[in-house]
Amino acid sequence: MTATISKIIWLAFGLAWFVLRLRPRRRSRATPVRYSARGVREFVLLAASLMGLGIVPAVYVATHFPRFADYPEIPVLSYLGTAAGVACLWLFHRTHSDLGHNWSVSLDLRERHTLVTTGVYGSVRHPMYSAFWLMALAQVLLLPNWVAGPAGLVGFGILFFGRVAREEEMMIAAFGEEYRAYMRRTARVVPWLY
Ligand code: SAH
């Protein structure tokens, strides 16, 4: 596989990701929010993630900047990256189906919010973040550049570690013992591990 093909695959994953979000975005706009933990902090976290998973790699794919940080493409890594991207898109789609109208791009509780604990939410409580980690992994494996490749891990890492505990606190405040029990029987992002 050549570096150009790897870049095209990364672009196709980005496009598929965008398309998969069209319907959930429309549906979430139609469902009123009853509580929101949005604020400057959430804005900064979302910007970091967008920068690392979107803007930095997109600039690299479009302009080849920063060229000085290139390294030779290693085909086996590109194949692994493609597999990670496919797994990510499958999981991303499943999480949106399972969350339904409860989904938000930030920390919100919606009208008639229900606690989802089945489907891909049966073994981990943040499977959408698992999908984001898979996309960040796909990016580092597909883009042979020391800046554009790891940017997704850094950007999404900032969002994940800056948000996940607050999200769980918000869910405990909303669902109490039901969420605590759910936490006891699930992992955060990797089944049985973390
Ligand atoms: N952290 C989850 C969801 C990300 S979307 C995941 O990675 O899969 C963020 C929104 O999902 C938050 O606003 C929160 O209200 C909602 N949410 C998180 N976990 C949920 C669950 N188990 N059931 C219903 N809504 C949930």
Mean pLDDT of the chain: 97
Nearest alpha-carbon partner for 144 in 86, 51, 76: 76
Q: How far is the CA of 176 from the centre of ligand 1 (A)?
A: 15
Cα 102 to averaged position of ligand 1 atoms, centre (Å): 7
Nearest Cα residue to atom 22 of ligand 1: 116
Please return the burial class of 100, using the count of CB atoms within 10 Å of its CB with bins 0-12, 13-18 and 19+: middle
Start-to-end CA distance of the chain, whole Å, equals 33
Per-residue pLDDT at 179 exceeds 90? yes
Return contacts of 175-180, CB within 8 angstroms, 24+ apart: 175/115, 178/115, 179/115
Residue 159 has pLDDT above 80, yes or no: yes
Residue 1 has pLDDT above 80, yes or no: no
Mean pLDDT throughout 37-52?
Answer: 97
Q: Does 163 have pLDDT greater than 80?
A: yes
The per-residue pLDDT for 30 is 92
Give me the pLDDT at residue 2, please: 86
User: Who contacts 17 (Cβ-Cβ below 8 Å, separation ≥6)?
Assistant: 89, 92, 135
Pocket lined around ligand 1, Cβ cut-off 6 Å? 95, 99, 102-104, 107-109, 115-116, 121, 125-129, 167, 171
Q: How confident is the model at residue 12 (pLDDT cuts 50, 70, 90)?
A: very high
Nearest to 131 by CA among 46, 78, 190: 190
**Residue 102: which of 115, 90, 89, 88 has the closest Cα?**
115
> Which one of 171, 183, 190, 194 would you pick to mutate in the ligand 1 pocket, going by the greatest count of ligand atoms within 8 A of its CB?
171
Place of tokens 């000085």: 68
Strands (E), 29-152: 33-36, 108-110
Phi-psi region of 26 (alpha: psi -120 to 50; beta: other; left: phi over 0): alpha
pTM for the full predicted model? 0.97
Counting atoms of ligand 1 from 1, which one is nearest the CA of 164?
Answer: 1
pLDDT in tens, 127-147: 999 999 999 999 999 999 999
**Ligand 1 centre and the CA of 23: distance in Å?**
17
Distance (Å) from CA 53 to ligand 1 centroid: 20
pLDDT digits 0-9 by tens, 45-70: 999 999 999 999 999 999 999 999 99
For residue 105, name the pLDDT band (cuts at 50, 70, 90).
Answer: very high
Are the C-beta atoms of residues 138 and 14 closer than 8 Å to each other? Answer: no
Residue 3 is predicted with a pLDDT of 86
Q: State what percent of residues in the chain have pLDDT above 70.
A: 100
Question: CB burial class (10 A; 0-12, 13-18, 19+) of residue 68?
Answer: exposed
Mean pLDDT, residues 26-46 taken together: 95
Structure tokens of 46? 């979302």
